[in-house]
Copies of this chain bind each other. A is one copy, B any other.
């Protein structure tokens, strides 16, 4: 039923760091895919159907690649990083299913969302199943310290989502509050994914911390770019799905910067569109104009670059081998999405 992604086919289609990681970890990622497929089996047919829809549809496998990369950099020789990487992807997929319900999203990765096709009820429950399976897989890897990191991340991610919910429709959210939210909802899993790779390799504390710091800062940069892209790329080649955050009343850094740098009229505009969000194209047009005038998009990308630099510096203590060099290039790759 599930097609295991043929990584050798998709290798090197583009000259980017993510493709290079796929090459470096092709065989291991193939094993991760097999573990993923094995754990979506269930007597309840909807479970493999929905899981397949999300996981089978692809996605970048960025988080499991962090686990595999970290394990290799820390010199791990065993096999438990495979199941751990699969567990990380399950956790991520569970949060996607629930996020789509919370955000009322109809499309993800250019496909209808699970809630769109099978309803909110099934999305909530299959998300719960995936989270349960993720823990089951982590337990199979038999590392209490890794379990500690990942279970803490699960709670923190949900905490971040609740904080985001509470900050909805509020134009006055501060940059610091926003950073706390994306640190929790996005960067915590990046950090955990990288750190557990080091943990199962019995890496020293300094190395573990370096891996976690890489993941965390990459995660923040990644989310900042994602939020910037929702208002189009810096080069003004607008994507298809811009303006979704605005239409939901979700306040992200481009809006926060434009709000704080704006005059009274601009602030009144932001208050209005954030408090009573709509799909009105005139609102989006005005928002883009104010964001451009205040250089908010460029500066969001600059902030991302700052965290990206921290990520690169964090792993400077590892030997500059292929994996380490590719992870450093991965930071630039994530930021380059904004152009």
Contacts and interface: CB of A to CB of B under 8 A. Distances in A.
Contacts of A126: 158, 162
A121 to B, nearest CB: 4
A317 to B, nearest CB: 28
The interface centre, meaning the residue of A47, A95, A153, A158 with most chain B CB atoms within 10 A of its CB, is A158
A139 B151 contact: yes
A139 B128 contact: no
Contact of A47 (B45, B120, B162): B162
Interface stretch (A59-67, A130-138, A197-205, A212-220): A130-138
A159 B156 CA distance: 24
Interface in A72-89: none
Q: How large is the interface on A (under 10, 10 to 19, 20 to 34, 35 or more residues)?
A: 35 or more
Given A144-B142, A151-B136, A129 B45 contact: no
A330 interface: no
A255 interface: no
Interface in A100-157: 101-102, 120-122, 124-129, 131-133, 135-136, 138-140, 142, 144, 147-148, 151-157
B132 A44 contact: no
24 contacts: A42-B162, A43-B163, A44-B159, A44-B163, A45-B166, A46-B166, A98-B125, A101-B120, A102-B124, A102-B125, A122-B165, A124-B124, A129-B155, A129-B162, A132-B153, A133-B155, A135-B147, A136-B148, A136-B151, A139-B147, A140-B148, A142-B144, A144-B144, A147-B147
Given A135-B154, A138-B151, 13 more contacts: A46-B165, A46-B166, A95-B128, A101-B121, A102-B124, A125-B162, A129-B155, A129-B159, A131-B131, A132-B156, A132-B157, A139-B147, A139-B151
